[in-house]
Each structure stands twice: as C-alpha cells, then as structure tokens.
Structure 1
Amino acid sequence: MAIESPFKEYIQELDVEKEKKRWEQLFKVFSEPEPKIGHTPRTEVWRKNKSVLWHYPAKQKKYEIPLFFVYSLFNKPYILDIAPKASVIEGLTNMGYEVYLLDWGSPGYEDKKMGLDTYIEKYLRTAVKRAIRHSGAEEITLIGYCLGGTIASIYASIADEPIKNLVVATVPIDFKPFIGPDQWAEGMRQGDINIDRFIDAYGVVPPQLVEGMFRAIGAPIYFTNYTMLLSRAHDQRYVDKWRRMNRWTRDQVPFAGEAYKQLANDLFKENKLVKGELMIGNKKVDLKNITANLYVVSGSRDNLILEEQSKPLMDLASSEDKTYVSVEAGHVSLALSGLFAKIVDQWASSRSNQL
C-alpha cells in the first residue's frame, strides 16, 4: 500500500528535461574551448611596444566626429566587444560612428618603469593624434571606462588636441571613498602597507594578484557567480554570457610597476587628482581645464566604483555642457549587456556633427 508524503505540497516536482539540460550545459562549460571574443571587424592603425590602436569602421557613417575609447589598465578591453548583439563597439558602429580603441596590451618586466606620464604623454596623446589624422576629422570624442575614464580625464585637462566631447563611465575621480576592507584603506593611507617595496621587488603587479584583489573586493559576489551558473545552467543564452564574463574576469593583465605606484600613492593615498596636485611630467593636472562637452555615467548597482567617486568631476570641470546620469546597471554589466552603446548614442548623437 503506497503512502502519500505529507510534504508533497511543499516539494517542487522535478523537471527532468530541465535538469538534463542544466547538467549538459555545465559539462560544456568545463569541457569546451573558451568562447570567441572580439567579433567586430577592425584594422590596426598604429602600434607602440605592446599597445595597439584599432579602428572599427562604421557600418554606414552618419557622424563626422569619431569615438575614441580609453579602457582601464587593469583589464583587457574586449569586454567592449564581448559578443555579437551585446557588443558596445558593434552597437556604435551599427549606429553610424567611426570607433577607435587604444588597447594598452600586457606590460612585461621590461616595462616596469612605465608610469602614468608615459601612458598618457607617449601612448594616449600619440594615439589620439593618429586617430584624428586617420579619420580626417577635426575633433574627436574621448570615451573612458573605469580607470580609463580617470586617464581620459587627466589627459583632457592637459591636452592640446581638439577634444570636443568627453564621456566617462564608472569613473573614479575622488579616491577618498573606498569599497573594500577598511583595514586596506587605513593601512595604505597611514603607510602600514608599503606598496613601493612590493613593486620594487616584483617590477610589475602579477595578473594573479590583480585577480585576487578584485575577488577580495567583490566577495562574496564573485563566488555567487558559480551559484548563479548552477541555478540557471538550463538557460543556454545565460550560460553563453556567463562563459564570456567568466573568461574576461580571469583574463587579467599585469600592471606596470611605476604606474601602480602613482595610482596607489598619488591617487588613492594622497587623492591628488581632486586636490589639483597631480603632476604628469612637468604639467599640473587641473580638471578645471576641461572644457569639452562632458557626460558622466554611473551605475546604481556598481559594486566597485561609487557614485560619489564620479560626481566630483561635474563640479571640477569647466565645461558649459555637462550631463550626469545614473543608470540601473553594475560596473561590468553596463558594458557586458551592450547598454553603454545606447547610452552613449543618446547623448553623443547631437554632439557629433551628423552628416
């Protein structure tokens, strides 16, 4: 005689087909090759050391002023071209923009003396000049993402080149607010953690350490990625996006030692950018020198860069045309979803000299 369980109404009925698909997808995640990235057609315009300037032609050119992307030194920039129909760069070229991207490359031990001065004056400045010449345009739109936005803002404040528009997203400008263990911030700012000695020993910050740092700041969020994968492995579209994101988060690059010293000491510890005390070569960086049309984008769910780190640029820049927007997105999902392309277009379309 069969006995019916009194807990039947509380136990969800097992969906055999769904479970079969879930475990098949999980097997593929850990057995198949990494997914392909970088789908949008491009050509190399200029190269210096490990850095490359890429040009992504517009599908049908609609705007005279090209877009020039500056990405972070911490990560590889293919998050901006992660997958078809979810690519920021593909989206913008489809909308009629000529797009340029400066890929910093992966510095080696021989690049340990490269500081922010070198990156900005010898790489970024030259690349912008090449992009302007290559495009035949008289002005350019500079777009910086994360630390790339910090670098773009610094450059825009000392640039002689014709920058009409400056767009920065999830950008740290004020380094006083901090997401992460309080002991880290206190230790670095009081000198208990000696970054210079560590850099002198290693030359460059190893990619494994960069990955570990982001894991620690993002914990426990980083580990819930695997929980989410398990719970949604039956969804093939989600799994494909998860695999691309997972590849990017594990694909860190080394950080040139001298640049990291400047980042840790001048920006994080001393907050010189906001104070107007930062020096790039023999030039003092004063964000009041920024007169380009300014667009600052923050993510309301950003777990790495707080809005209060980005907002000060609105007051510091002298731009007459200034716009600030907070969108419902995280630090990475803003790019991963391709949403950033639409956000840029909504603002830049009226400021890019439509043909």
Structure 2
Amino acid sequence: MKRWQGFFKAIVNPEIEVGLTPRSAVWKKNKATLWYYPSPNKKYSIPLFLVYSLVNQPYILDMAPGNSMIESFTENGFDVYLLDFGIPGYEDQDITASDYIVNYIQKGVKRALRHSDAKEITIIGYCLGGTLATMYAAIAEEPIKNLILSVSPVDFETAPYFDKLAQATKEGRLDFTNLLETTGIIPAKMIKWAMRMVTSPIYFTPYLSLLNKAYDDEYVDKWKRLNKWTSEHIPFTGAAMKELINELGKENKLINGELYIHDKKADLKNIHANLLVISTDLDQLVVKEQNIRVIDFVSSNDKTFSLVNGGHTTLATDKGLPSFLSEWLPQRSDPL
C-alpha cells in the first residue's frame, strides 16, 4: 500500500526543490550567471570552476543536501564557481560555441580568479561542458592548474549512436547547415527527444524503478529530482550546434589540431595542466573512445585516464566525492 501511495504521490506532485547549497552571483552576462559557493571550512587555495553542458540545466550538480556534488566539494574544503549558461531564447540564435568559450567561459574564469584572488584555478567540465572546457584550455592564457573532464566527448572519430547519420554528415551527403540557419534555435523538446532516442526510446523504465522503491521516501525524493532534471532540457542555439557539428562532429578538428576559436588556434598541445579524464562503463551517451585519446595529444606531464563504474550522470549525482577524485584533486590543489 505504501509503495502505491508513494508512486502516485510522486506522479501527481512532481515538483521538488533543487539547488539548495548557499551561493551568490558574482558575475552575469546575457542569460549566464557565475555562481559562487564558498566552502565553510576552506582547505585549498585553488578554487574549482565548473562548466556544465548546453543541453541541460546544471542543477544536477546540486540536487539536494546529501546528494550534491557542489556540496561535497565545499564540505571537502574547496571554494566552487559554477558557470550557468542560462536558457537561450530566439534572440540568442547567433551565439556560437566559440562565443560561449571566449565570451562566457574565459571571461568567467577571469572573474573567478579576481574574485578569489587565486593564482591558479581548476576547471571541471561535465559532458558537453567538458568539450567546451577542453576547447577553452587549448587557447587559455589564464593559469589552469588542473583540468578534469567528466564523461566529455572530445574525439569524434567514433560515433557510438546514429552512426549512419554521422557518416553521411562526414561524407557531405547530409548537411544540417540550412536547417539550423533557418530555425535559428533548436527547441528544448527536440533536444529532449534526441536524448531519449539514444538512452530511453520507450520511457517507462524510470517509472518501474520508482514503483519498485516507492515505499522509500528518500528514494522517491531523489527520483523526483532526477526525473525533473531529465525532463527539463533547454534550447540550443543554431549557430553553436552548426559549429559543433561541422568543426568537431564532421572534421574532428580539435583532435586533428585544425580548430580555430575566434581566429586563435586551439591546439591540444597548449594544454599543460594536470589532466584527469573520466569515462564510465555504462554510459549510453559518451563512450570511452570519445575521450581516451585526448591524453595522447596534450603536453601535460601529469595526466590520467580513469574508467569507473556507472552511467552518464553517476558522477554528478553520487553522494560524496568519488574515491578516485577525493584522492586525485586534493594532492593537486595547494593545501592552505
């Protein structure tokens, strides 16, 4: 009886609070906000700068007390900055991926360095945010001490899904340019449908999982937060999608050393930061073949690839810091 009561309660009343870790806005540009999360017991002089994807909202990194990556970072002594790109509208259709890198990520990093009075910074990119973070690091003049890429596609030689469409795009038999220029912006519903086609074409498994443990109030609350996040995709600017498809998906220019960002060459050899690349063995969106080779192209002396158990969102929603990160990061963050 409690299982069925919990199940229907979650379905009828899906709203739940997210993003509860104390924070303040330290910089804004257009729809974007740079959020600052101070550590209550600061232990390290190097702050963390988090870059999330353009596809989803970043509150998955701060779902709830006890279920928040950002909270875990601050409790472990790190000051945290999160770049929230916001939700683009039709008026933002001409913002390219390069614009996001130079005008948002790079300027946000500069603001975080000034605000923290830190001499160096750690960049952590999640999913497509890690792709953008890698592109930024390849042109950055700012002092990046550590670069962490979590389930981030960087190498597009392999297409784990829609492989025939990807091959047709690479061969020039399929071109989305006119469509993207005409529509201007990809609606959130289309992004959501595309993600579902890859991960859950028939979307009922999460509801079976809910029914199975709907008697557990803590599980139901966590389920509602994750379901809220997976249902709230955001629009994608046509200019950014066009650039990513042509420059990365079609030409793989970042890996091949041929990418330019605002007329500046983005060469992976320019990256000297300590590098940690993370992939998960059950990820349906980003497979290890899409990020493992990046360590072969950077100039970093300290570089590690880690394949861990879990899915695409596991590292963002786990309670506490993953063991490999809790060991790797403090050793490279200059204790106070």
Q: What corresponds to 2:99 in structure 1?
A: 118
Deviates more, 1:92-101 or 1:238-247: 238-247
Structure 1 residues 222 and 346, CA, compared in 2 at 3 Å: closer, same or farther?
farther
Structure 1 residues 342 and 136, CA, compared in 2 at 3 Å: closer, same or farther?
farther
Deviation at 1:270, TM superposition (A): 1.4
- Return the match for 1:321 from 291, 302, 306: 302
Structure 2: distance between partners of 1:274 and 1:305: 16
- Return the match for 1:290 from 234, 249, 271: 271
Deviates more, 1:155-164 or 1:339-348: 339-348
Deviates more, 1:171-180 or 1:258-267: 171-180
- Return the match for 2:230 from 246, 249, 259: 249
CA RMSD of aligned residues (A): 1.5
Larger Rg: 1
Deviation at 1:230, TM superposition (A): 2.4
Q: What corresponds to 2:8 in structure 1?
A: 27
Structure 2: distance between partners of 1:64 and 1:259: 34
The CA deviation string for residues 236-280 of structure 1, in whole angstroms up to 9 with x for no partner, is: 222222111110011111111111001111111111111111110
Q: How many matched pairs? A: 336
Identity %: 49
Deviates more, 1:337-346 or 1:117-126: 337-346
Structure 2: distance between partners of 1:268 and 1:123: 22
Q: Which residue type is aligned with residue 125 of structure 1?
A: Q
Structure 2 gap ranges (5+): none
Give me the TM-score of the superposition, normalised by structure 1.
0.91
Q: What corresponds to 2:143 in structure 1?
A: 162
Structure 2: distance between partners of 1:67 and 1:345: 14
Q: What corresponds to 1:214 in structure 2?
A: 195
Q: Which residue type is aligned with residue 225 of structure 2?
A: R
The CA deviation string for residues 311-344 of structure 1, in whole angstroms up to 9 with x for no partner, is: 1111011100111111111111221123556543
Deviation at 1:232, TM superposition (A): 2.5
Q: Which residue type is aligned with residue 182 of structure 1?
A: D
Q: What are the residue-to-residue correspondences of 1:173-322 with 2, within 5 Å?
A: 173-220=154-201, 222-322=203-303
Structure 1: distance between partners of 2:172 and 2:203: 29
Structure 2: distance between partners of 1:279 and 1:74: 23
The CA deviation string for residues 179-227 of structure 1, in whole angstroms up to 9 with x for no partner, is: 3233332333334433112212211110000000000011357432122
Q: What corresponds to 1:9 in structure 2?
A: none
The CA deviation string for residues 42-98 of structure 1, in whole angstroms up to 9 with x for no partner, is: 000000000000000001110000000011111111000011111000001000100
Give me the TM-score of the superposition, normalised by structure 2.
0.96
Secondary structure of residue in 1 paired with 2:296: helix
Q: Which residue type is aligned with residue 226 of structure 2?
A: M
Deviation at 1:107, TM superposition (A): 0.9
Structure 1: distance between partners of 2:319 and 2:196: 24
Q: What corresponds to 1:46 in structure 2?
A: 27
Structure 1 gap ranges (5+): 1-19
Q: What corresponds to 1:11 in structure 2?
A: none
Residues 34 and 81 in structure 2, CA contact (< 8 A), matched pair in contact too: yes
